């Protein structure tokens, strides 16, 4: 299982639009992807409600894990979304 830690750059954290973009990107990959705080139980990165339930704020560190075909590509794309400062 591939794993990466990143800090959330969005000023609003992983809420609303950033979460929606993240979940849609996770769903495009064949790999099983999860997200969570370090040391806590992760949630399915393809579930909007699960991702929003984490209530992750600006500057918090999260752990992304991916397993299966395209795991490394999934982590690369998803981590880039999380470290982006675009809050469009």
Query: Which residues are known catalytic residues?
Result: 15
CA atoms within 13 A on the CB side of 12: 11
């Amino acid at each position: 299982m591939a794993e990466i830690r990143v800090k959330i750059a969005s000023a609003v954290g992983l809420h609303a639009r950033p979460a929606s973009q993240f979940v849609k990107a996770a769903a495009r990959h064949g790999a099983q992807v999860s997200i969570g705080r370090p040391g806590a139980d992760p949630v399915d990165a393809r579930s909007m409600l699960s991702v929003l339930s984490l209530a992750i704020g600006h500057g918090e560190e999260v752990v992304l894990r991916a397993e299966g075909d395209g795991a490394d590509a999934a982590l690369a794309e998803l981590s880039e979304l999380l470290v982006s400062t675009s809050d469009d």
